[in-house]
A and B are shown apart, each in its own frame.
Chain A
């Protein structure tokens, strides 16, 4: 029981990061119908920015806000300057552009910060990546014998609060209404006077900022940041979005939490068969399985196509 709870807690916390990644993917997919392959790398850039702020001695709260702003700008600029012009040509062109961004941002990070694990004692003043939550060895709550460290618990709470806020924004505010209108039919939305361009720009920015939050939080859990940090998170996030349904924000969050729990349980209970190496295999199985059995995911709407 104690073991079960431990895996559950760890899974929920790490799943929160996947949920953030998936949420970003879903917001972009709903708006423009593209899968943003650079989502992870956009987040990574902001994460490095937050690291740099920490180096300069800026407290994590302010650093986080700046990081999120940078994330928002990257996302919005990508939509306006890169995705929108090529989207007219073909979906393949958008795919290539996001892939170019993936590669380009990763290179930019390596060009500025090098390919080392940061922070390390050679170049940085910080001991470890700044976390948002208390991170002393005594900072945990004990539930039925299982320890839930506050920095893990905090991540989950953060994601739940964010989901609630996003839910309110999507369903109760004018901006959310505009977003939903553009997602469901952008032509008609334009006709009733919604500035679809602005809405899409904000969607991408928002998605990128949420991803950035995921990156910062994940680096906080890890204590370090490096160039490969977001590769696997992106895949888990995509698996979560696939599981929850690519056009359902709630599904994405739930999918993320589920993937996190499944992954941790499988790796914990079957160390020989799954273990740390084949955890990623689970994401693969989930993606293929869901797409084959129910391509719309748990909460997505099935796409009907007219030939």
Chain B
């Protein structure tokens, strides 16, 4: 398909587009916490957490094709690392982030060992059972001294009180005396920082030699091995990084609520499914897909949240959902998941790219100098040939 404009990747026009995008995103991110709308900030914080988790899953699933339904366990590891270190050992909350990353990295690398032999749906089965076992493991009575059993852990975040008026981050008080202020903007920025870190790491992995190795493994493992890719090390490393990154939003969730319980939704298998839904709806195998997906997810959940009460449903949609005794969010996502597989396997971002390709197409740099963005170039190429 012919597009209206063709611009070179890395050329001035392409940079101009990037700057515009960065300015728009920056403006939104900076504007949200200036108002006193705490609900909005809370929604953004939730969206940031889901973004980071879905991005970490995307690194594994979108780029190496290894299906993981166990990311809620890694999220839970993060949540419990923070909880245990702060509540039981009196750490400063921020220091638990790197610790959680390391623990989850090690666990992830261990899980990847069977993953080297187990593929496809079997791996999904193994990770699914991991996700189901994790909350049980936390409740295990042999571990109650550490995890607090079914009741979880209290006082697991910043104990902001009369004596302690600052949020200490690695020994510095960036925020100064927080007396009289809510903690919500603080959590907003922590969650945002986690998203940025996750994005940078994912981008670094994907657009590097390792990333090309990953895509090679995904598309044809045997061929990749023949070409000299060390499949075992690459897979283990990526599984570890993905798990470690997924632990970070877990840490955020603990310091945000100041406690952690084994039955909170994102730690159970529901979390894994949520991350997967976000990733698939946004667009698997692209860096911005999970970001878009998490935004849409939180938006839809927010809008449909009170739809169990019939009067809150907008007029046109009322006949569709009025019979439901629970909010229809989950059902909408389930249906859109199935529909997307029919019409747009690359998710909303894939659709977006397909449509904008009619307007502007970005010509990639010549082979060898460029970084590979598999899905988008494949889609554009497909369009060009038809």
Chain A interface residues toward B at CB < 8 A: 34-35, 37, 82, 85-86, 89-93, 95-97, 99-104, 106-108, 110-115, 231-232, 235, 238-239, 242, 272-273, 275, 277-281, 283-284, 287-288, 291-292, 295, 307
Which residues of chain B are within 8 angstroms of A85 by Cβ–Cβ distance?
342
Interface hits, B92-136 → A, CB 8 Å: 114, 117-118, 120-122, 124-126, 128-130, 132-133, 136
- Distance in angstroms from B300 CB to nearest chain A CB is 13
- Distance in angstroms from B328 CB to nearest chain A CB is 7
Q: Would B338 and A82 count as touching, CB distance under 8 A? A: yes
Distance in angstroms between the alpha carbons of A175 and B333 in the assembled complex: 38
Which residues of chain B are within 8 angstroms of A102 by Cβ–Cβ distance?
273, 334
Closest residue to B269 on the A side, CB-wise?
A: A231
Q: Would B129 and A235 count as touching, CB distance under 8 A? A: yes
- Distance in angstroms from A306 CB to nearest chain B CB is 11
Closest residue to A236 on the B side, CB-wise?
A: B129
Beyond the given A239-B129, A292-B118, please list 5 additional residue pairs across the A-B interface where CB-CB is below 8 A.
A35-B122, A96-B337, A96-B340, A110-B330, A291-B126
Which residues of chain B are within 8 angstroms of A104 by Cβ–Cβ distance?
330-331, 334-335, 337-338
Q: Would B120 and A89 count as touching, CB distance under 8 A? A: no
- Distance in angstroms from A215 CB to nearest chain B CB is 18
Segment from B139-147, B171-179, B355-363 that makes contact with A: B139-147
Closest residue to B128 on the A side, CB-wise?
A: A235
Q: Would B126 and A287 count as touching, CB distance under 8 A? A: yes
4 nearest A-B residue pairs (beta carbon): A104-B334, A100-B337, A111-B324, A103-B334
Which residues of chain A are within 8 angstroms of B331 by Cβ–Cβ distance?
103-104, 107-108, 111
Q: Would B273 and A235 count as touching, CB distance under 8 A? A: no
Q: Would A100 and B334 count as touching, CB distance under 8 A? A: yes
Distance in angstroms between the alpha carbons of A97 and B331 in the assembled complex: 13
Interface hits, B321-347 → A, CB 8 Å: 323-326, 328, 330-331, 333-335, 337-338, 340-342, 345
Given A82-B338, A291-B122, A89:B326 Cβ within 8 A = no
- Of the candidates B118, B125, B325, B334, the one having the most CB atoms from chain A within 10 angstroms of its own CB is B125
Which residues of chain B are within 8 angstroms of A242 by Cβ–Cβ distance?
122, 125
Distance in angstroms between the alpha carbons of A281 and B122 in the assembled complex: 17
- Distance in angstroms from B332 CB to nearest chain A CB is 9
Q: Would A291 and B121 count as touching, CB distance under 8 A? A: no
Q: Between A and B, how many residue pairs show CB distances below 8 Å?
A: 137
Distance in angstroms between the alpha carbons of A188 and B325 in the assembled complex: 49
B67 contacts chain A at the CB level, 8 A cutoff? yes
Which residues of chain A are within 8 angstroms of B136 by Cβ–Cβ distance?
277-281
Distance in angstroms between the alpha carbons of A98 and B49 in the assembled complex: 26
Given A95-B121, A295-B118, A100:B335 Cβ within 8 A = yes
Which residues of chain A are within 8 angstroms of B121 by Cβ–Cβ distance?
34-35, 91, 95
Q: Would A103 and B141 count as touching, CB distance under 8 A? A: no
- Distance in angstroms from B61 CB to nearest chain A CB is 9
B55 contacts chain A at the CB level, 8 A cutoff? no
Partner of B120, one of A91, A107, A235, A279: A91
B238 contacts chain A at the CB level, 8 A cutoff? no
B370 contacts chain A at the CB level, 8 A cutoff? no
Distance in angstroms between the alpha carbons of A232 and B338 in the assembled complex: 24
Which residues of chain A are within 8 angstroms of B117 by Cβ–Cβ distance?
291-292, 295
Q: What does the 1/0 interface line of B274-293 toward A look like (CB < 8 Å)?
A: 00110010000000000000
Given A92-B67, A291-B114, A291-B126, A277:B330 Cβ within 8 A = no
Which residues of chain A are within 8 angstroms of B269 by Cβ–Cβ distance?
231
Given A96-B337, A278-B136, A284-B129, A103:B345 Cβ within 8 A = no
